[in-house]
Amino acid sequence: MSLRFSHDDLDLEPKVNAITAIIQGYQDIKHYEIYCSAQSVISIELEKDAIKTAEFSKDIGIGVRLANGHGQSAFSYTSDLSAGSMQQMVKRIVALVGKSTRDKDFHSFAEKTPVTKLPASKLFDKRIEGLEIEDATSLVFDTLERARGVGDPRIYSVNIDLGAGSEKVLVLNSNGVDAREQYTSIDLSCSVTSKSGRTMTSDSDFQAGRALGMVSAGVGESAARRSLATLGKVRIKTGVYPIILSPRAAAAVIGSTIEEAADAELLQQQKSFLSSEAGERIAPEFLSIVDNAKSTRYSCLNSRSFDGEGTGSTTTKIVDEGVFRSGLYDSYTAGKGGTKNTANASRASYRSLPGISPSNMIIQADKAHVAKLDEIVAGIKLGILFDDTGDSPDVASGDFSGLISTGFLIQAGAIARPVSLAAFGINFRDLLNGIELVGDDVKDVAGTVCPSILLKGVQISSEIG
């Protein structure tokens, strides 16, 4: 048993031809889009040092969107690829199309664009496709061994999750789009709980990529060291502190916020704090944020030759030298806004309609504003290394408050004790404008590529008992 599909599983061509013929029997339907995906996934869960569950799933199906000449559209999908079922599906969609509202902003599904194929070796790894359950189990236990191998009795429990998948995608539409690609992916996460006296704390580490070599059992050791480092927390005084966002925190705070705020749907609905900032400076001149689906560096986790609607991948400068240049668009929002489609339609499977999301988001600074992380830390008398939070800003206003769930005090130029939960409050505009330097420690955090980031001063408003 492996993640390989049988020839029969992947022979979707006859099904697609059959559906196209059925659709073409309906005169009122002017636009169609067919999306097929075949996914197989192996996952293993280890809980509190003990193997818990191994899972295997296989899911193959077709999703169809139809629209008439008035912009009325609807969607359906099926995993039953029999002729009768596909006929029923199309009939169901056609009935719904007539009941939707007329949409003058809908012009068509994605236009045919050039698709530059990325090297298959960056997207697909035969070693993942051929991964046997025994190999996957061994990797999980090696990871456990590395976590326990740290040899600290304060390590209380170790949880590990491994997921590996293989996917084939095919998308075509009435504008002549016909795109297909195969991907593999693997992710390995390890969470370690540590206990000292009555204090318990936990932290985790995570690796992911499209090739087997992008994950390693070493994530167990780094998770254990992270967890142990968060024991012995100290309280800090309320005040304004310089903050270093670690790459993990920068991805969570800046990456996730820009991802949401640059979503063209929110921009067009005036629900993003960036809605009125087109062409305006929103960050220091040395900072740029780019969405690059064609990246062949780092994990390539979100790299692809085309998006969920079959539009050829592009590189989009969201923030260019501090100026907000572009949102992230799919075919609908680009048509509505009369702007370029940035190929950011994404789909989880044939069951889902396309939504807008970034591909690989890269946060970078010019060379003059990159410093060695050690030097940045050394320059801070009293500050905080902010490593994790579960909070996100109100994307409409940019107001951002929450908890530093993992953070460390920086004292006299060195990283000292972990800080007890502290609340922070800042507007996201001020946060961006408060960026002074970035570190040389660029990391790929699940598709967001970013360094540590030094912020001028953030209000730490209270402490928790």
Partner 1 sequence: MDLVEYERLVKKAMGMGADFCDVRVVTSDGFRLNLLQSQTRDMASSTSSGAGIRVLLGGAWGFASTSKLTDTALEDCCTIAVKLAKNCASRVKQADKFKIPDSLEFKSGHHVVSTRGDYEQTPHEEKINAILALDKRTRASSPAVKNCAVYYHDNLVNTLLVNSAGARVEKSIGCISGVIEVTAIEGGSAEEGQEVFSHVGCWNTIDEEALDVLADSAAAQAVRLLSAKPCPSGKFTIVVDNKLGGLFVHEAIGHACEADELLSGNSVLEGKLGKKVGNEVVTITDDGSVLGRFGYSPVDSEGIPGCRTVLIEKGVVTAFMHDLETATRMGAEPTGNGRAQSYDSVPIVRMTNTSLERGDWTRDELIADTRSGIYCQNWVYGYTEPEKGTFLFKCKEARIIEGGRLTNLVKGAALSGKILNILASIDAIADDFGESGGMCGKKGQSVGTSDGAPHFRVHNVVVGGSEE
Q: State the minimum distance, in angstroms, from the CB of residue 148 to partner 1.
A: 13
327 makes contact with partner 1 (CB under 8 A): no
In whole angstroms, how far apart are CA 416 and each of 377, 413, 453? Answer: 11, 9, 18
Q: State the minimum distance, in angstroms, from the CB of residue 224 to partner 1.
A: 14
Q: State the minimum distance, in angstroms, from the CB of residue 421 to partner 1.
A: 6
Q: State the minimum distance, in angstroms, from the CB of residue 245 to partner 1.
A: 19
CA angle, residues 271, 274, 276, in degrees to nearest 5: 90
401 makes contact with partner 1 (CB under 8 A): yes
4 makes contact with partner 1 (CB under 8 A): no
Q: Is the dihedral of CA 240, 241, 242, 244 positive or negative?
A: negative
339 makes contact with partner 1 (CB under 8 A): no
CA distance 147 to 161: 13
265 makes contact with partner 1 (CB under 8 A): yes
Largest separation between any pair of C-alpha atoms in the chain? 75
In whole angstroms, how far apart are CA 412 and each of 233, 240, 383? Answer: 18, 16, 9
Contacting range for partner 1; rule: CB under 8 A; set: 45-53, 207-215, 256-264, 440-448: 45-53
80 makes contact with partner 1 (CB under 8 A): yes
333 makes contact with partner 1 (CB under 8 A): no
Contacting range for partner 1; rule: CB under 8 A; set: 18-26, 293-301, 307-315, 457-465: 457-465
The residue among 121 and 397 lying less far from partner 1, judged by its C-beta, is: 397
CA distance 363 to 358: 13
Q: State the minimum distance, in angstroms, from the CB of residue 109 to partner 1.
A: 14
Q: Which residues contact 9 (CB under 8 A, 6 or more apart)?
A: 38, 58, 60
The residue among 379 and 457 lying less far from partner 1, judged by its C-beta, is: 457
280 makes contact with partner 1 (CB under 8 A): no
Can you tell me which residue has the tokens 């006299």? 412
Contact 460, 239 (CB under 8 A): yes
**Position among 4, 25, 58, 366 found at the interface with partner 1 (CB under 8 A):** 58
Mask: binding to partner 1, 142-171, rule CB under 8 A, as x and -? --------------xx-x------------
48 makes contact with partner 1 (CB under 8 A): yes
**Position among 151, 270, 279, 367 found at the interface with partner 1 (CB under 8 A):** 270
321 makes contact with partner 1 (CB under 8 A): no
Judged on CB neighbours under 10 Å (0-12, 13-18, 19+), 53 is exposed
Contacting range for partner 1; rule: CB under 8 A; set: 94-102, 120-128, 315-323, 410-418: 94-102
Give the number of residues written for the chain.
465
Q: State the minimum distance, in angstroms, from the CB of residue 443 to partner 1.
A: 23
Q: Helix (H, G, I), strand (E, B), or coil: what is residue 256?
A: helix
Can you tell me which residue has the tokens 């309906």? 26
The alpha carbons of the chain give a radius of gyration, in whole angstroms, of 24
Q: What is the DSSP string of 53-92?
A: EEEEEEEEEEEEEEEETTS-EEEEEES--SHHHHHHHHHH
448-450, strands of its sheet edge to edge: 323-324, 315-320, 287-292, 361-365, 448-450, 443-445
229 makes contact with partner 1 (CB under 8 A): no
**Position among 16, 34, 36, 60 found at the interface with partner 1 (CB under 8 A):** 60
**Position among 11, 13, 105, 285 found at the interface with partner 1 (CB under 8 A):** 105
Contacting range for partner 1; rule: CB under 8 A; set: 19-27, 28-36, 291-299, 391-399: 391-399
**Position among 18, 20, 59, 430 found at the interface with partner 1 (CB under 8 A):** 59
CA distance 295 to 313: 10
Q: Helix (H, G, I), strand (E, B), or coil: what is residue 302?
A: coil
Which parts of this chain interact with partner 1 (CB under 8 A)?
1, 44, 47-48, 50-61, 73-80, 88-89, 92-93, 96, 99-101, 103, 105, 133-134, 137, 141, 156-157, 159, 193, 200-202, 265, 269-271, 351, 353, 390-391, 394, 396-397, 399, 401-403, 405, 421, 423, 425, 461-465
